Structure 1
């Protein structure tokens, strides 16, 4: 079985292929990485200008590493393994859309 792709590796691959500095990119697409991304981590913090981040169709099981993404408005996590909706503290002021279909959500807690 192949080792999972890290966020850092996926970001480096996308930056190399696109020729665009990800620090200025407004849309970052890490969809369907091969091998799949399994963990979100602090490497996402370099995406300072990112408004739309797609991590769909991977094997992410936990939402994390979003602190520092002060511009994030759309987060696409469809077709992963997310079980709980948590980890939004750093983006709660800017996030407008969360795409989370086809995951493993066990329950959802909505706080007042």
Structure 2
């Protein structure tokens, strides 16, 4: 719940209408996940398919998000796009934990 509120805070702040209701299903296609990361990092992620139709397109979206974060120095070790797509709560919470730490470090810099 804490990470849902945290993510929704950033989405609402940037004027997004779509907020997270269920962390396990709402980030599974990678679209909302990319939105959250872009708001937090204040930078656009390339190659996000806004309307992924297939499972492989969703995984490509999540992979793009993970690659973007890795390039920013965010620890994504042990996280897989497959697990996030499947709604693995531990993986999703791990990702949000790393993202929130990244944001804290940004604010302190």
Q: TM range, normalised to the smaller chain?
A: under 0.3
Q: Which has the higher strand share?
A: 1
Structure 2 length as normaliser, TM-score? Answer: 0.27
Q: Which has the higher contact order (CA 8 A, sep 6+)?
A: 2
Q: Which has the higher helix share?
A: 2
Q: Report the structure number with the largest CA radius of gyration.
A: 1
